[in-house]
């Protein structure tokens, strides 16, 4: 099915690599004007340039999503530049793994700020015009570890579980304005984040996945693009796993 987008502009965080890059490219292929955000100018700039070279519409902006002030400033400037932002995909994320007894306060706060507080900052920054326009889409990228927990990822799984509560509450607040808010929970996906795992661990993980492989960034991007489309207007407050059957 071809997805429909009526002259929409999307902002995708963490669009410089991995899942966010695939989401930005998938939306652009459907005609969406995409604002690619990442920490470094180089990575989001290269993705936006690639989209433009293929005939799509994209621009780039380096913003540290864990910094509420920086996100507020960027949101105001981007809303002034683009008439409106219709779609927000909160995808930027990091891991700082370690067992609870050895986890530093810094690792806790860095992961909570980057993965969870960032969603709140961007929502505050860009959602108001969606409510006025009576159309909007917010998709927050969580993780299956937010559902299952994971030893060594207390910070990350807490942040990803927090996304579920934020998503459902926002969906309830904004439903009367036809702004939907959903979460996508990927399983193990082949990106820079998982390439840090050694080969044995990666094989062991794949053996636990009913579909017997790690997923690809495009698998997550297709689900996300659907939730952003005109077609998904009656879906809100939900969590969609894209995990090869890991959680069932
Ligand atoms: P990735 O390849 O490591 O890419 C992360 C992206 O986030 C990069 O573009 C990075 O920017 C950006 N980012 C990180 N910290 C940032 C900050 N403070 N400010 C702005 N941008 C920042 O990650 P991924 O594997 O694609 O993961 C994307 C999302 O999916 C994350 O939320 C992750 O938790 C979630 N997820 C991933 C998996 C998986 O198996 N890969 C599974 C479940 C959930 P730069 O390019 O500038 O460095």
| Cα separations in angstroms, 22 against 19, 50, 92, 137, 225 | 5, 12, 13, 18, 10
Of all atoms in ligand 1, which is nearest to the CA of residue 19? 26
State the distance from the centre of ligand 1 to the C-alpha of 192, rounded, in angstroms: 8
State the distance from the centre of ligand 1 to the C-alpha of 132, rounded, in angstroms: 30
Pocket test for ligand 1, best of 12, 37, 41, 93 (most atoms within 8 A of CB): 93
Q: Is the pLDDT of residue 1 over 80?
A: no
Q: Whose CA is nearest to atom 44 of ligand 1?
A: 143
| pLDDT confidence bin for 196, thresholds 50/70/90 | confident
- Both tokens of residue 132? 């006025």
d(CA 120, CA 100): 25
- Enumerate residues lining ligand 1, CB below 6 A: 13-14, 16-20, 38-40, 43, 63-66, 91-94, 114-115, 141, 143, 186, 188-189, 191-194
Ramachandran category for residue 35: left, alpha or beta (phi over 0 → left; psi -120 to 50 → alpha) = beta
- Convert 115-135 to b/e letters by CB count within 10 Å (16 or more is b): bbbbbebbbebbbeebeeeeb
Average pLDDT, the chain: 97
State the distance from the centre of ligand 1 to the C-alpha of 14, rounded, in angstroms: 5
Sheet with 179-186, edge to edge strand ranges: 58-62, 33-38, 9-13, 87-90, 136-141, 179-186, 239-242
Q: Whose CA is nearest to atom 33 of ligand 1?
A: 93
Confidence (pTM)? 0.98
**pLDDT (tens digit per residue) in 218-247:** 999 999 999 999 999 999 999 999 999 999
Q: Whose CA is nearest to atom 8 of ligand 1?
A: 14
State the distance from the centre of ligand 1 to the C-alpha of 196, rounded, in angstroms: 13
Q: pLDDT above 70 covers what percent of the chain?
A: 100
Between helix 118-133 and helix 154-174 the angle, nearest 10°, is 20
**Residue 226 annotated among the catalytic residues of the structure:** no
Mean pLDDT over residues 106-127, rounded? 98
State the distance from the centre of ligand 1 to the C-alpha of 229, rounded, in angstroms: 23
d(CA 7, CA 23): 17
* pLDDT higher at 181 or 83: 181
| pLDDT confidence bin for 49, thresholds 50/70/90 | very high
| pLDDT confidence bin for 201, thresholds 50/70/90 | confident
């Amino acid at each position: 099915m071809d997805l429909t987008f009526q002259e929409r502009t999307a902002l995708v965080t963490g669009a410089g690599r991995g899942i966010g890059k695939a989401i930005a490219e998938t939306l652009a292929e459907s005609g969406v004007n995409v604002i690619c955000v990442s920490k470094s100018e180089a990575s989001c700039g290269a993705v936006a340039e690639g989209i433009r070279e293929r005939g799509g519409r994209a621009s780039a902006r380096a913003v540290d999503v864990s910094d509420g002030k920086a996100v507020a400033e960027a949101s105001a400037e981007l809303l002034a530049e683009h008439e409106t932002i219709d779609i927000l995909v909160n995808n930027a994320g990091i891991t700082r793994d370690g067992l609870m007894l050895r986890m530093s306060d810094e690792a806790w706060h860095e992961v909570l700020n980057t993965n969870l507080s960032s969603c709140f900052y961007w929502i505050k920054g860009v959602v108001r015009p969606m409510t006025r326009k009576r159309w909007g889409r917010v998709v927050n990228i969580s993780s299956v570890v937010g559902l299952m927990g994971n030893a060594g990822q207390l910070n990350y799984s807490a942040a990803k579980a927090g996304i579920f509560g934020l998503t459902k509450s926002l969906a309830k607040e904004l439903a009367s304005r036809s702004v939907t808010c959903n979460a996508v929970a990927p399983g193990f996906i082949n990106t820079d984040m998982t390439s840090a795992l050694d080969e044995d661990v990666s094989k062991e993980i794949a053996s636990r996945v009913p579909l017997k492989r790690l997923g690809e960034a495009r698998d997550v991007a297709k689900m996300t693009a659907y939730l952003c489309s005109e077609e998904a207007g009656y879906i809100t407050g939900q969590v969609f796993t894209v995990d090869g059957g890991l959680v069932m």
